[in-house]
């Protein structure tokens, strides 16, 4: 019996994956990012398998972040999903596709030369030039990223760089993503990764870019302005502690009513820091660390937040013609 081929022509159906990738195609500054990475990429002409184009590998790396795919899963997706191959520029079915080892080596190249941080800076430079990232105010916050707590692995132990942390009445094991966010646009400008047990206030001043005049935080950052690394001239608007806030009586006390109104206004500004967390966790599916060690996972977080910035302003960037 004659076997039928599984090489089907690309469908014209407007799937969510296709629409998402077409949207990101228009807003990612591919030329700038490729120019950033190319000086570190292996040169062609050497013996053995020739390296894939930097732009193709960068597109594959970004698809891993957007769709929460491991290296083996990304290799399989390139074979199974035509729209992924199209986005990577690997449209010829006869051409070789990157293996999981090639995908891994590209990620290691980015980690080795600390290019994730430069990717975030390049994206933010573009957004600043378009007037979408202002510098007068910052909101700082942190979120827990879970890590596997099981010891059923090759090393027989949990990741020693992760740690337990208690939030409310619940214990969590993993790391923290600390971010500094533009108070006007909600775009991330600074990212730090620590073990889960590091107190938020310890990282507070490292999340400032140095040009802001005001900072908004929740009650967990009490005393940030008095720490040795505090930046002079910055006004900190820290939320009132929950117990003290509940003790207010705005209906019967004009002073309490004013304090309650101020707290509501501060909360409205602080809410913008939740948007990038929602994007990486809900839109991109990053709810658990993928690698062992803080260095690798922090590098991934910086890439994720760079991509979340582009996702959050995609319509504005397209409207501005870039």
Q: Tell me how crowded residue 162 is: count the other CB atoms within 10 A of its CB.
A: 25
Amino acid 150: pLDDT = 74
Q: pTM to 2 decimals?
A: 0.91
Provide the pLDDT for residue 46.
Answer: 58
Tokens, residue 1: 């019996």
pLDDT at site 48 = 53
Tokens 């870019």 belong to 209
Local confidence pLDDT in tens for the 322 residues of the chain: 334 334 444 556 778 999 999 999 999 999 999 999 999 998 765 555 667 999 999 999 999 999 999 999 999 999 999 999 999 999 876 678 999 999 999 999 999 999 999 999 999 999 999 999 888 899 999 999 999 887 666 766 788 999 998 887 888 899 999 999 999 999 999 999 999 999 999 999 999 999 999 999 999 999 999 999 998 999 999 999 988 888 999 899 999 999 999 999 999 999 999 999 999 999 999 999 999 999 999 999 999 999 999 999 999 888 877 5
Among 122, 119, 175, 156, CA closest to 296 = 175
Q: How far apart are alpha carbons 8 and 12 in whole angstroms?
A: 12
pLDDT at 1: 38
Look at the block and give the residue holding tokens 């397209």: 318
5 vs 76, 95, 196, CA distance in Å? 17, 16, 50
What does the longest C-alpha to C-alpha distance in the chain come to? 87
**What gap in Å lies between CA 305 and CA 299, rounded to an integer?**
10
**How far is it, in rounded angstroms, from Cα 90 to Cα 101?**
17
Please return the burial class of 69, using the count of CB atoms within 10 Å of its CB with bins 0-12, 13-18 and 19+.
buried
Q: How far apart are CA 194 and CA 238, in angstroms?
A: 22
Is 77:84 a contact under the CB 8 Å cutoff?
Answer: yes
Tokens of 67: 């769709």
Joined together, the tokens standing for residue 19 give 């629409």
């Amino acid at each position: 019996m004659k076997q039928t081929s599984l090489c089907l022509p690309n469908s014209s159906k407007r799937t969510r994956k296709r629409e998402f990738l077409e949207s990101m195609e228009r807003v990612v500054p591919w030329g700038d990012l490729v120019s950033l990475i190319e000086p570190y990429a292996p040169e062609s002409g050497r013996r053995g398998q020739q390296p894939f184009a930097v732009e193709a590998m960068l597109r594959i790396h970004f698809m891993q972040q957007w769709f929460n795919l491991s290296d083996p899963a990304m290799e399989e997706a390139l074979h199974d999903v035509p729209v992924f191959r199209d986005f990577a520029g690997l449209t010829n079915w006869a051409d070789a596709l990157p293996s999981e080892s090639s995908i891994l080596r590209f990620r290691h190249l980015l980690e080795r030369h600390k290019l994730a941080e430069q990717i975030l800076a390049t994206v933010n430079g573009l957004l600043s030039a378009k007037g979408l990232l202002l510098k007068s105010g910052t909101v700082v916050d942190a979120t827990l990223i879970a890590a596997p707590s099981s010891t059923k692995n090759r090393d027989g132990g949990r990741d020693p760089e992760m740690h337990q942390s208690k939030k409310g009445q619940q214990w969590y094991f993993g790391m923290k993503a600390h971010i500094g966010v533009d108070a006007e646009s909600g775009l991330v400008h600074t990212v730090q990764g620590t073990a889960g047990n590091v107190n938020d206030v310890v990282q507070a001043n490292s999340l400032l870019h140095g040009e802001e005049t005001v900072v908004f935080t929740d009650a967990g950052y009490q005393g940030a302005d008095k720490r040795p690394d505090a930046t002079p001239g910055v006004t900190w608007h820290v939320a009132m502690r929950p117990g003290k806030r509940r003790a207010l009586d705005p209906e019967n006390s004009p002073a309490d009513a004013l304090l309650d109104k101020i707290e509501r206004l501060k909360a409205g500004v602080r809410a913008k820091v939740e948007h990038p967390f929602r994007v990486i966790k809900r839109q991109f599916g990053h709810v658990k660390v993928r690698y062992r060690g803080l260095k690798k996972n922090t590098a991934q977080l910086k890439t994720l937040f760079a991509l979340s910035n582009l996702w959050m302003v995609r319509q504005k960037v397209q409207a501005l013609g870039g």
